[in-house]
Amino acid sequence: MEELVKQLAAAVYGSSSVDGVKIINGRAIITLVNVTDIPEKTAELRRQVENLDGIARASIIFTASKAFSGLRQPDDMWMVPGVKKIIAVASGKGGVGKSTTAVNLALAIANHDKKVALFDADIYGPSVPAMLGYEGMPPASLDGKTFEPFTDMDIRSMSVGTLIDKTQPLIWRGAKACGALQQLLCDTNWGDIDVMVIDMPPGTGDIQITLSQKVKMDGAVIVSTPQDIALIDAVKGINMFKRVNVPILGLVENMSYYICEKCGHRADIFGHDGARKTAENMGETFLGEIPLHYSIRQNADNGTPIVYAEPDSPYAQAYNQIAEKIITRLGI
């Protein structure tokens, strides 16, 4: 089967461009190297591959044979050409599901007929490449100066993870980390984008503050689990954005409750409603709750976020509803 997919890809993009084909759970991941996306060709290839028996979906990923080197010095304001609105998905605390929320919200906003970009700025634990299925692949560059975004599932994306070796501790600090972030953010050929979602590093440290000051952000979405300890940090996050004049779009309660698949019993593992109450107390908007569910985690790990993999599930609907509120708040 992989050989057949390879042949189809070679017929459309030329055999020297086909880097590899993997088939996982009915999803064909085709990696093309040193060529750029020609949307008509890509659509044709996708159609052919998805017509094969046993393949439900095709992901076509453009990559480059050589990694990019040389970081630039950070500038004063970081302009992102072509992008109309930029929102941050942030949390005061790590591990609350910020990346899962960012990726699914990006896909959900795209479901509302918007052109969406996702930028993974989490220098401490970039997880967008794994969640979108392009882990370990360097971004393509046609001119050696700018990057081509990854394009799949109707969104464009770029991750600081494409420059980082995950097995090594991160030694970038201060200006170096900022230079890398600015370069990836500002030197990627995003094209026309209605909304960019930025997956922020967790916490409220220097990098987070620098990002929220240098990038002209139109709003921040704060993700928290329902329990007190996470909410204390969520309040810190809200206050950080307020201090740099980034409007708070609202709070999302992640891992809000768990419904047993066997008996339907609902358990509030981390408590419930904490984020809603915190939002009320602070005069902020509560955007909605996302339950704790096995298939949210599994799909994120497999590189097919739930909004894409199970668009009709109640979990995808929960993200869609939050996306709708964000779109309304942004006035687009």
Ligand X SMILES: Nc1ncnc2c1ncn2[C@@H]1O[C@H](COP(=O)(O)OP(=O)(O)OP(=O)(O)O)[C@@H](O)[C@H]1O
CB 211 within 8 A of CB 121: yes
CB 91, min distance to Mg ion, A: 9
Query: Toward ligand X, which CB reaches closer, 59 or 104?
Result: 104
Query: Toward ligand X, which CB reaches closer, 8 or 290?
Result: 290
Residue 219: what residue type? G
Query: Toward ligand X, which CB reaches closer, 41 or 325?
Result: 325
The 3-state DSSP class for residue 195 equals: strand
User: From Mg ion, ligand X, none, which one binds at residue 91 (CB under 5 to 8 Å depending on kind)?
Assistant: ligand X
Site for Mg ion contains 99 (CB under 5 A): yes
Task: Give the bridge partners for 150, in sequence order.
Answer: 157
Q: For 162, which DSSP code?
A: G
Residue listed under structure tokens 């339950």:
291
Name the segment binding ligand X (CB under 6 A); options: 16-24, 122-130, 160-168, 212-220. Answer: 122-130
CB 201, min distance to ligand X, A: 7
Site for ligand X contains 156 (CB under 6 A): no
CB 154, min distance to Mg ion, A: 21
CA 51 vs. chain centroid, Å, equals 28
Site for ligand X contains 91 (CB under 6 A): yes
Site for Mg ion contains 91 (CB under 5 A): no
Give the pair of three-digit tokens for residue 5.
Answer: 């997919």
What values do phi and psi take at 213, rounded to 5? -90, -40
Strand ordering across the sheet containing 27-33: 18-24, 27-33, 57-63
Give the pair of three-digit tokens for residue 321.
Answer: 């509803």
Instruction: Using CB under 6 A, pick the residue from 42, 59, 63, 99 that binds ligand X.
Output: 99
Distances (CA, A) of 48 to 11, 30, 145, 151: 11, 13, 34, 18
Instruction: Using CB under 6 A, pick the residue from 35, 116, 296, 323 that binds ligand X.
Output: 296
Site for Mg ion contains 127 (CB under 5 A): yes
Site for ligand X contains 95 (CB under 6 A): yes
Instruction: Using CB under 6 A, pick the residue from 125, 138, 191, 271 that binds ligand X.
Output: 125
Q: Alpha helix (H) ranges present in 140-226?
A: 174-186, 206-214
Name the segment binding ligand X (CB under 6 A); options: 50-58, 95-103, 144-152, 214-222. Answer: 95-103
Characterise 133 by phi-psi region: left (phi > 0), alpha (psi -120 to 50), beta (else).
left
- List residues near ligand X by CB under 6 A: 91, 94-100, 122, 125, 127, 202, 254-255, 290, 292-293, 296-297, 300-301
